[in-house]
A = this chain, B = another copy of it.
């Protein structure tokens, strides 16, 4: 198992890097959800980060939307696999793409496409409950930055 360049980061640095990553234009997120019967699903989609929420836009009839409406939860992976941010999130809101103009504008400002006007598409607003970040195995210790929706560091 490899070491992180420069050694393991401090908690404040990891929080800073995490927030910078989530605010990156045109960034994608791996969204893992599960059916009530325990069948895992995984897709990459575009992400927006606004008011400490992750926002994704998907077809309301997709497996991801259905699983999230039913279970209210997902686990998200952002970044390359050797510099990851993992977020356990709860579904806060599911809105038609043209229902909340401010939300639509925030999403379109960060993502590289604009789902507004697309029939059947929804924004899923996801509230982080736990956030973890690590590069290599030397950063596994101290990987939890948020727990129960509260940052553990400034």
Binding site for B on A (CB under 8 A): 1-2, 28-30, 32-44, 67, 71, 73-77, 81-82, 84, 86, 112-113
Contact = CB atoms under 8 A, between A and B. Distances in A.
Nearest to A112: B2
Contacts of A30: 30, 32, 42, 77, 81
Contacts of A35: 34, 38
Copies of this chain present in the complex amount to 2
24 contacts: A28-B82, A29-B81, A30-B30, A30-B32, A30-B77, A30-B81, A32-B40, A33-B40, A34-B34, A34-B35, A34-B38, A34-B39, A35-B38, A38-B71, A40-B40, A40-B41, A40-B67, A40-B71, A40-B74, A42-B76, A42-B86, A44-B77, A44-B81, A44-B84
A38 B41 contact: no
A73 B39 contact: yes
Contacts of A112: 2
Nearest to A84: B44
A86 B23 CA distance: 26
A101 B51 CA distance: 51
